[in-house]
């Protein structure tokens, strides 16, 4: 197990370095970072001065290694747009993304897991059809459209909820539903299909034959064995939420990491671009690592050498 963990850690670092190089290169390929300051009257002298200030006189490879060297010390440079440390900007936005992502994930789990189990247990009944419709809608409805429709219905027409922006629990409801529904659709399908497979297995039949209560069969025997795939998917979804969700944050004016990344792309703010993507990468890699390690605890049959 120890060897496995060390191997995975090394692989993690390797992945992050490769991704950082790609991200750094792509952010520079997008254009000269001085565009952010450029207006129609900019003179050559100003242009050259900005280039010196940003270290653009050095070769690209050198610029990357300088950036990487600082990044390992959690110094992602300064935003060209905001003129403050990128880490500060991410730190400011992260709690907002955590709040929204966490709420959306909870919504997805609350909706998908019980409904997925019910759909599998009560196959071909009304519950099953209901669950599958929910899943289909979740996958078919684009989050952008769904968010605006929810706003028009619940915030404008009925005026039950606020339109958006960060605030109390009522501010969180619509964006969480918008973000969580698509994830819930996938989790629901995975839970349903995994449960169907497990419920058909021999050990479950044996448990039934022995007179074990349905509740225990479903939740102790079947669900635990069906958990692996949906859990993997849901954790990856969660890390995606935490890295920021552009569409939902834009529609609901939620000041999260996703909007920060989009703003950075629109303004060619390459330190923030590189910083937010690096942050997302690390998050995903850590989530994968945690998942891999957790498998050994969830399923004792899995042992790592």
Partner 1 sequence: MRRTVKALILAATAMLVGAAIACGGEQVKPTTAPAPTTAPAVAPTAFIAPTTAPAPTAAPSPTAAPTSAPTAVPGPSGKLVVSLSAIGPANYELFELVWPWNDRNQFMGMYDTIFYDDRRPGAASLLNASVAKSWQFTDQGLVLTIRDDIPWHDTKYGKLTVDDILHSLERASKPGAKWTRAEALTTNFKVAEIKATGPNEITMPWNKRDLRWRSVPRDVTIQSKKMFDAVGAEQMNITPMGTGPYRVLEHRSGDIIRLEALDKHWRETAHVKSIDVLETPEETVRLAMLKTGQADIIQMGVPSIPAVKAISGAQMLIGPTTGLDGAQIVPAGQYYQDKKEDGSATGRTPLTQLPWVGKTPEDGLKVRRAMSMAIDRQALIDSVLGGLGQKHYLWNLGPGHPRWSVDLEKKFAIPYDPEAAKKLLTEAGYPNGFELNFFIPSGLSSTLEQVCQAMVPMFAKVGLKANVDQSQYSAVRPTMLARTIDKVWCWQESGWSVDPDVLYRFSTRAVWNPGIEYVEPLNLESRILTQSDPEESWKIITNEWLPWFQTKLPSFQTVAFTAPIAAGPRIKEWPMRVHSNRWPMEPQLIKLTGN
User: Which residues would be at the binding site for partner 1 (CB under 8 A)?
Assistant: 31-32, 35-47, 49-50, 52-53, 79, 81-84, 89, 92-93, 99, 102-103, 106-107, 109-110, 114, 117-118, 121-122, 148, 151-152, 155-156, 159, 162-169, 171-172, 214-215, 218, 250-253, 255, 259-260, 263, 266, 268
Q: What number of helices (H) and strands (E) belong to the chain?
A: 14, 0
CB of 46 to partner 1, least distance (A): 7
CB 262 within 8 A of CB 174: no
CB of 22 to partner 1, least distance (A): 19
DSSP-based three-state secondary structure for 78: strand
Choice between 242 and 285, CB closer to partner 1: 242
Choice between 100 and 285, CB closer to partner 1: 100
Structure tokens at 178: 């918008």
Choice between 171 and 189, CB closer to partner 1: 171
DSSP-based three-state secondary structure for 85: strand
In the numeric block, the tokens 């635990």 are attached to 224
CB 51 within 8 A of CB 63: no
Choice between 124 and 159, CB closer to partner 1: 159
Separation between Cα atoms, residue 217 and residue 223, nearest integer Å: 8
CB of 233 to partner 1, least distance (A): 19
CB 116 within 8 A of CB 195: yes
CB of 9 to partner 1, least distance (A): 31
| Total residues belonging to the chain | 305
CB 121 within 8 A of CB 208: no
CB of 3 to partner 1, least distance (A): 38
Choice between 16 and 242, CB closer to partner 1: 242
């Amino acid at each position: 197990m120890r060897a496995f963990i060390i191997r995975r850690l090394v692989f993690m670092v390797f992945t992050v370095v490769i991704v950082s190089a790609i991200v750094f290169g792509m952010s520079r390929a997008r254009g000269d970072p001085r565009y952010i300051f450029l207006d129609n009257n900019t003179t050559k002298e100003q242009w050259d001065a900005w280039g010196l200030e940003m270290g653009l006189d050095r070769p690209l490879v050198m610029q990357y290694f300088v950036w990487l060297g600082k990044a390992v010390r959690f110094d992602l440079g300064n935003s060209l747009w905001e003129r403050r440390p990128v880490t500060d900007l991410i730190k400011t936005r992260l709690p907002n993304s955590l709040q929204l992502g966490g709420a959306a994930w909870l919504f997805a789990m609350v909706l998908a897991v019980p409904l997925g189990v019910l759909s599998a247990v009560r196959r071909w009944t009304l519950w099953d059809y209901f669950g599958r419709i929910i899943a289909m809608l979740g996958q078919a409805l684009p989050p952008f459209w769904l968010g605006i429709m929810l706003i028009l219905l619940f915030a404008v027409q009925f005026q039950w909820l606020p339109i958006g922006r960060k605030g109390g629990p009522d501010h969180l409801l619509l964006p969480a539903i918008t973000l969580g529904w698509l994830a819930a659709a996938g989790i629901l399908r995975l839970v349903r299909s995994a449960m169907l497979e497990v419920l058909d297995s021999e050990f479950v039949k044996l448990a039934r034959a022995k007179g074990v209560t349905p509740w225990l069969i479903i939740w102790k025997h079947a669900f635990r064995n069906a958990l692996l795939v949906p859990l993997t998917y849901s954790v990856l979804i969660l890390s995606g939420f935490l890295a920021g969700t552009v569409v939902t944050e834009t529609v609901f004016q939620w000041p999260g990491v996703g909007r920060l990344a989009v703003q950075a792309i629109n303004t060619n703010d390459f330190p923030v671009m590189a910083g937010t993507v690096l942050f997302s990468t690390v998050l995903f890699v850590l989530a994968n690592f945690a998942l891999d390690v957790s498998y050994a605890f969830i399923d004792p049959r899995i042992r790592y050498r």
